[in-house]
Amino acid sequence: MIKSKYRKRENLTDAKRTGHHTTEYKATKLVRYIVYLYLGQLMLQRLDLDFILFQREIKEEYFTVHISDIIVAIMIMMIAKVLVWFITQVTLYRMYKSKNMDTGIQLAINQLVMYVIYVFAFVFALDRIVSDMSIFYGGAAALLVGVGLGLQRTFNDFFSGLVLLFERTITVGDVLQYNGQSGKITKIGLRASFMETQNNALMLIPNSELVNQPVINWSHRDNVIRLEIPIVITSDVAPKKIQELLLSAIAPIDNILPEPHAYVSLTEITDLGLKYSLNVYTNQVMMAEDIKSSIRINIIDRFRAEKISLSYQQ
């Protein structure tokens, strides 16, 4: 995801470079707003228009919020956003290019930088609004205990997401089989990961489930998988003949790899007949079921043409 985003950025035409949808333009626009807010805050103070929005006495001390406090808090969060852009899209981007780093590591570093900067920015913004942070800490301590107990699963998902980003057992673009569904991971978020299923539906999976539950990662090492199609033959046909027919059934089908070679094995002799297994390899994991369906159709057509009986009591 990051690599494609960077590639698009490098291949921008002159028209796109001057367009309003580039990240550089958005960052410049954000800086302009920060300057406007800063000048507005100065004017409020010079013209003595910095009115009190909220005032309350807490523990014999006045808790006061002015208009300028809100403006400065907004400025701090906007500066944090610009800082995140500069670090991830300029400073770290050069390091990614020079070291040719994996996209999973890039995503992990970018998200961690974003989390850290936004947390510090939120604390500084809150410090601007709350004149005495000890008042906030005292009330927040009891609140956070209750919230923490109620959000144990959420915190578990958050830290599990960090584990996924750094351990990289699952990365963006991997094809997984989870809870009977197969799909491609499109995003590893703060609380949940997004998986696009074979039905083109978007499944949200809690990060803790991906860390603690059994998950099949079809593309962790590479994107080549083996498909197995079991067949039981009731007729007394030579195994060599069955092998030729099964291998011929995959010839017209796309997305089957020539290497490793497809092969047929006689796996079992039962009362129902001889049990064969046709094994093929593909790198189209998301199309696995469609490929297997096409192979079965070709097998049925070829066996009927040869008048070879199949056992359907498998």
Q: Which domains does the chain show, CATH number per domain?
A: 2-150 (no CATH), 167-217 (2.30.30.60), 225-305 (3.30.70.100)
- Supply the pLDDT for residue 1: 41
Confidence of residue 163 (pLDDT cuts 50, 70, 90): confident
- Supply the pLDDT for residue 68: 84
DSSP string spanning 234-270? -S---HHHHHHHHHHHTTT-TT--SSSPPEEEEEEEE
d(CA 174, CA 213): 17
| Stated pTM of the model | 0.51
d(CA 78, CA 121): 9
Lowest mean pLDDT among 13-17, 122-126, 137-141, 282-286: 13-17
- Supply the pLDDT for residue 157: 80
